[in-house]
Amino acid sequence: MDQGSKSINISADEGVILQKIFRHGPINRADLAKEAGFSRSKVSGLVTDLLFRDILSETNRPGSCHGKWKDLDINQHLGYLVGIDIGTTSVDVSLADCSCSLMEHQFEASNVNDGPEIVLGQATNLLEEILQSQNVKKADILGIGVGIPGPVRFPSGEVIGGQFTPGWEGHKIQEILSKDFPGAVIMTENDANLMAVGSFNEGLAQNTDNFIFVKIGTGIGAGVFCGGQLYRGATSCAGHIGHTCVDLAGPVCRCGNKGCLEAKAGGLAIAEIAEAAAAEGKSKLLMRLKNENRGRLTAVQVGEAAARQDQIAQSIIIGSAALIGSVLAGVVNLHNPELIVLGGGVSKLGDLFLAEIRREVLKRTYSYTTIGLRIGISPINDTVGVIGATHFIRDWIFLMEGKPLSLAL
Amino acid sequence: MDQGSKSINISADEGVILQKIFRHGPINRADLAKEAGFSRSKVSGLVTDLLFRDILSETNRPGSCHGKWKDLDINQHLGYLVGIDIGTTSVDVSLADCSCSLMEHQFEASNVNDGPEIVLGQATNLLEEILQSQNVKKADILGIGVGIPGPVRFPSGEVIGGQFTPGWEGHKIQEILSKDFPGAVIMTENDANLMAVGSFNEGLAQNTDNFIFVKIGTGIGAGVFCGGQLYRGATSCAGHIGHTCVDLAGPVCRCGNKGCLEAKAGGLAIAEIAEAAAAEGKSKLLMRLKNENRGRLTAVQVGEAAARQDQIAQSIIIGSAALIGSVLAGVVNLHNPELIVLGGGVSKLGDLFLAEIRREVLKRTYSYTTIGLRIGISPINDTVGVIGATHFIRDWIFLMEGKPLSLAL
């Protein structure tokens, strides 16, 4: 591994121990043995070594009482973890300790079209502010996980395509960032994939092995979990459900095809349909909102108008949700998930949006596939990306992500 | 494991050794160590024990030359493996040795609607004929893998739903068969899942970790591989792509919904559309074929007419392929497979059918998702089901399938 100097050699058995600690938090040796399926003496040997190497530490968990042995946790003084979530119109940066406890989260508006140097520069500035305010030294950063709103080759971090991240194609995020953070392990992933990781670790999808995280923002993309692991597909492109064609005669999409789900039902599409409706005088409320907003509307404004019973806004929301639901029906029939988590800005459109997606999914799927299927909105929507980025880089450093389902080298 | 008396205790490390031997065939100790990622001495210890327990045997592979050590293989005298593939209109039975080498394969027409007792009785009769002709004793059968054309709970083998297998719902196949074969380990799976397993082990999908097998027969279903393992989903229902709605105003499907892919583009739909066209006098060739066939047509006959340049038949085939392609586009965007294998009776419809599916998939997917995507027709179409059933039961007995991606107990 040449992505930084902080790489830590962990054996397969040690990886199992760490994975259980990451999942269950501070834990005693007996429970650890049970969870890992190892003998008590094997756990004892592994733990002694991990303590000696300062990877684990012993803690006094309030209320825990297991004789002479204290609970075990990751050594929080090992270093810090950074999550960077680059969106189409914003950049989020967070700092966490080795337990992935968020210490500080900052964000600002950005434009992905400005290219990697400018946008990663914004992220670096935000990070340096956070480091200063938290009194953390650059050299103490163990790793940085980065999400970008487009496909990225794993594990090299090379941006693929570039339709969604113009100017980024072929750039390797980790190489750019490593100039400023030479001591840190840096890895890049697609943003929806990281949101799925965040949701699996701290969101709705905890203890859910088979689920889909759907990010509905400017674009529409998904992160796919199979058997408790992020599934990346053959060429790191799994989850591109926003580019399933729903109308061959539809508008041209950012990806170059026609009538993609995202071009018909994403945040931009909702805003454009509402702007057109306002221009045609169909809705007084949308007209007023548009005038107040220098002739533009956002999907969130359309959602607010719908919540205020504007019928045109409601029909736009329902139209978008119905299309998203029709594509998710195909997703459900193939993947048979336990859960679909909706995140991203447009997921805040409210109950009408969620209800229509649910209805459409149930109408278009095999009944036994949806027994027990839950569809919900991410409760940690604003931070799920950076939380995912933090867990992603921690798992990479300590577990090499366990055994990745698909490693496109 | 109470599914039979032949269960064999294999440790996790031994499982790795067996998995490599199953994958690579006879192999020497040095290559085995390399493939398994174990030390030479560790492999030596494991192999000695597996030889002592008669699970492995040493072979003289022609041309192999590795000093004093012979190649290692599964002990073919351990017992025999049976594959049963129950289709909607046929039942296939095969016998194989422990290397999964097919010894004999028999099939006959059947009707899944006759229910489990009658259809499994047909399978049992075929199997007893094969045992007699091969001079194999019932007691020497190690395991029986069974595929049925509908969803089945894994690993219990309980048939779910019953829309596609009327009269089978709630029955546990392994309990019924174990009356006749009390000494064998018996496990049941969905037929498309087993075809995917067959394709992974001996078909187009060898060495392909991420792929989809699509069975296009009376119904349309898929088997999904993620990271080299069969993926079953949250409730053993993954792969039900035939019940993705493509036309809300379409015909009622066997599943109870309206306008499912299968109801619009499956084998029965193709035949019915062609029969209607013949009745309306649109195609002389289809009319003649229909009259020769007591007023009925089959999808294969429509394919033959298309191959003879009948334009109505061609347009029916293209219409079906376009719908299948449109659903597969969603599959590709989500799963990002390396390969889609088409199997089942309708997949024999010829180049026109395949070409239209390919075109539709490429038209409706994100371009970077299809870089390197192959779409091909299964070359072992007639036996892929029983081959899959044989590998499935062998993996279950010796490997517990490794670590299943999703074990819905």
pLDDT of residue B8: 73
B146 pLDDT higher than 80: yes
pLDDT of residue A10: 82
The pair of three-digit structure tokens given for residue A308, joined into one six-digit string: 């205020």
Please check whether residue A170 touches B, CB under 8 A: no
pLDDT of residue A381: 86
pLDDT of residue A399: 83
Please check whether residue A245 touches B, CB under 8 A: yes
Helices B29-36 & B12-24, crossing angle to 10 degrees? 110
- The C-alpha of B177 sits at a distance from chain A's nearest C-alpha, in angstroms, of 25
List helix spans (H) across B336-408. Answer: 351-363, 384-399
Please check whether residue B171 touches A, CB under 8 A: no
B251 pLDDT higher than 60: yes
Task: Please judge whether A405 and B256 are an interchain contact, meaning their C-beta atoms are less than 8 angstroms apart.
Answer: no
In terms of Cα–Cα distance, which of A44, A365, A244 is closest to B365? A244
Question: What does pLDDT average to over chain A?
Answer: 91
Provide, as residue numbers in chain A, all residues whose Cβ is less than 8 Å from the Cβ of B232: 336
| CA–CA dist B121, B127 (Å, integer) | 10
A156 pLDDT higher than 80: yes
Task: Please judge whether B367 and A210 are an interchain contact, meaning their C-beta atoms are less than 8 angstroms apart.
Answer: no
Summarize the confidence of residues B39-64 as an average pLDDT.
87
A24 or A182: which carries more pLDDT confidence? A182
The pair of three-digit structure tokens given for residue A13, joined into one six-digit string: 């058995």
pLDDT confidence bin for A347, thresholds 50/70/90? confident
pLDDT one-digit tens code per residue, A190-218 = 999 999 999 999 999 998 999 999 999 98
Surface of A (53-92) touching B: CB under 8 A: none
In terms of Cα–Cα distance, which of B295, B103, B334 is closest to A196? B334
pLDDT of residue A161: 83
A29 pLDDT higher than 80: yes
Q: Which residue of A has its CA nearest to B250?
A: A364
| CA–CA dist B242, B264 (Å, integer) | 9
Surface of A (339-368) touching B: CB under 8 A: 363-368
Task: Please judge whether A210 and B239 are an interchain contact, meaning their C-beta atoms are less than 8 angstroms apart.
Answer: no
Task: Please judge whether B336 and A236 are an interchain contact, meaning their C-beta atoms are less than 8 angstroms apart.
Answer: yes
Best residue in B11, B168, B225, B244 for a mutation probing chain A (most A CBs within 10 Å)? B244
Q: Which residue of B has its CA nearest to A260?
A: B364
Provide, as residue numbers in chain B, all residues whose Cβ is less than 8 Å from the Cβ of A364: 244-245, 248, 257
pLDDT one-digit tens code per residue, B149-163 = 999 999 999 999 888
In terms of Cα–Cα distance, which of A269, A188, A385, A154 is closest to B227? A154
A to B CB pairs, distance under 8 Å: 177
Selecting from B234, B364, B369 the residue whose C-beta is nearest the C-beta of A237 gives B369
pLDDT of residue A66: 54
Let me know: does A163 contact A150? Beta carbons within 8 Å: yes
pLDDT one-digit tens code per residue, A236-265 = 999 999 999 999 999 999 999 999 999 999
In terms of Cα–Cα distance, which of A330, A114, A319 is closest to A212? A330
Task: Please judge whether B369 and A235 are an interchain contact, meaning their C-beta atoms are less than 8 angstroms apart.
Answer: yes
Identify the weakest region by mean pLDDT among A274-288, A377-391, B120-134, B389-403. Answer: B389-403
Let me know: does A21 contact A32? Beta carbons within 8 Å: yes
| CA–CA dist B379, B361 (Å, integer) | 21
pLDDT of residue B67: 58
Selecting from A226, A366, A373 the residue whose C-beta is nearest the C-beta of B255 gives A366
Please check whether residue A235 touches B, CB under 8 A: yes
Cα dist from A321 to A211, A333, A347, A357, whole Å: 19, 18, 10, 5
Summarize the confidence of residues A43-63 as an average pLDDT.
87
pLDDT confidence bin for A181, thresholds 50/70/90? very high
Q: Which residue of B has its CA nearest to A213?
A: B334
Provide, as residue numbers in chain A, all residues whose Cβ is less than 8 Å from the Cβ of B337: 233-234
pLDDT of residue A68: 63
Question: What does pLDDT average to over chain B?
Answer: 91
Summarize the confidence of residues A289-301 as an average pLDDT.
94
Best residue in A368, A375, A409 for a mutation probing chain B (most B CBs within 10 Å)? A368
Helices B311-335 & B351-363, crossing angle to 10 degrees? 40
pLDDT one-digit tens code per residue, B89-99 = 999 999 999 99
Provide, as residue numbers in chain A, all residues whose Cβ is less than 8 Å from the Cβ of B375: none
pLDDT of residue B406: 34
Q: Which residue of A has its CA nearest to B367?
A: A255
Task: Please judge whether A234 and B367 are an interchain contact, meaning their C-beta atoms are less than 8 angstroms apart.
Answer: no
Surface of B (314-333) touching A: CB under 8 A: 326-327, 329-331, 333
pLDDT of residue A408: 30
Task: Please judge whether A367 and B161 are an interchain contact, meaning their C-beta atoms are less than 8 angstroms apart.
Answer: yes
Task: Please judge whether A238 and B336 are an interchain contact, meaning their C-beta atoms are less than 8 angstroms apart.
Answer: yes
